[in-house]
Amino acid sequence: MTDPRATERRNPRTVSIDLATPLEIVDVINTEDRMVPDAVASQREQIARAIEIAEAAFRAGGRLFYVGAGTSGRLGVLDASECPPTFGSDPEMVQGIIAGGLPALTRAQEGAEDVVENGGREIDSHSVGKTDFVIGIAASGTTPYVHAAVRRAHERGAKTGMIACSVIPEAVLGFVDVAIVPIVGPEVVTGSTRMKAGTATKLVLNMITTGAMIRLGKTYGNLMVDLRATNDKLKDRSERIVVEVCGVSRAEARSLLEAADKSVKTAIVMQKLHVDRDAALVALERAGGVVRRAIPDAPPPITD
């Protein structure tokens, strides 16, 4: 009997992969992986809707939660953990919840995804409410823990979404505001959803958080300006951005950042408007956090 879940079907193109040479294995996997971007592109409108909902949640003081099990859960936790260093966001803004908790990040917690009641309990324990956005991630579309979490979030008044690489059950669609379903087809190794499904999921998560953060004004053009110089690498990057955008020396950039409490965005507005930190913060607030709306200048052109 054929499994209705696309992620669990056998791939006719890889039935002899156990006899393949290393180079043939690489070629087969690469061929399959090339299907992923098109599958993700087919969901462009749904992903854009998720960006809109996430932006609205953040502007209302709400949070974005990812909920998943296994690979799906790990990808959600990964994306959430990368937002603060990339965008200078509060760690509370984007959070990942994985079935089985912290131990499941490094070691599989078999059966955790089947404990339905734990999904709802996690939502309750995080006090999810009307300003929040909860996205369930389930490659197969059928993970009980994820369904329970999303359903509970819906009951508590939050906006909800689902990301899956197989058809989502109709019953689940009844309590989600947006469904993102990039169908990538059977995996190279049957059921190994850390492969194409995992890649598709990572691409979607990248788009949602990056898109929402851009909308919040975390970039100036394509420069990451809402970061703080908290380590040597970020200090160097911060100084280079201020030098490039403001046309100042390294020493001047360093002084600006110190006066701006190490905030690149604030330093840029201070220099462009010739104001102090407090006035720059007021200008940014009036502009909804978007540098381009707070200052008259466009980002500098790319010269190399």
**Whole-model pTM?**
0.89
Asked if residue 145 lies in contact with residue 114, where contact means CB atoms within 8 angstroms, the answer is: yes
SS3 264: helix
DSSP string, 149-160: HHHHHHHTT-EE
Residue 96: half-sphere exposure toward Cβ, Cα within 13 Å: 27
What does the pLDDT read at residue 278?
97
Asked if residue 260 lies in contact with residue 245, where contact means CB atoms within 8 angstroms, the answer is: no
Q: Which domains does the chain carry?
A: 6-215 (3.40.50.10490), 219-294 (1.10.8.1080)
Structure tokens at 175: 């309590």
Taking alpha carbons only, the member of 185, 182, 121, 108 closest to residue 155 is 121
What does the pLDDT read at residue 1?
52
Burial of 188 (0-12, 13-18, 19+ CB in 10 A): middle
Q: Does 114 have pLDDT greater than 60?
A: no
Taking alpha carbons only, the member of 215, 234, 237, 235 closest to residue 292 is 215
pLDDT classification of 155: cutoffs 50, 70, 90: very high
Measured over all CA atoms, what is the biggest interatomic distance in the chain, rounded to whole angstroms?
Answer: 71
Q: Tens digits of per-residue pLDDT, 287-304?
A: 999 999 999 888 888 876
What does the pLDDT read at residue 219?
93
- Active-site residue set: 82, 113
CA distances from 121 to 46, 92, 101, 144, 163 (A): 28, 18, 12, 13, 21
Burial of 222 (0-12, 13-18, 19+ CB in 10 A): exposed
SS3 34: coil
Taking alpha carbons only, the member of 171, 215, 255, 219 closest to residue 64 is 215
Structure tokens at 166: 């197989």
**Residues 27, 116: Cα–Cα separation, whole Å:** 40
Contacting residues for 218 by C-beta, under 8 A, at least 6 apart: 87, 88, 89, 224, 225, 226, 289
Crossing angle for the helix pair 264-273 and 277-286, nearest 10 degrees? 100
Mean pLDDT of 200-210: 97
* Residue 193 vs residue 127, higher pLDDT: 127
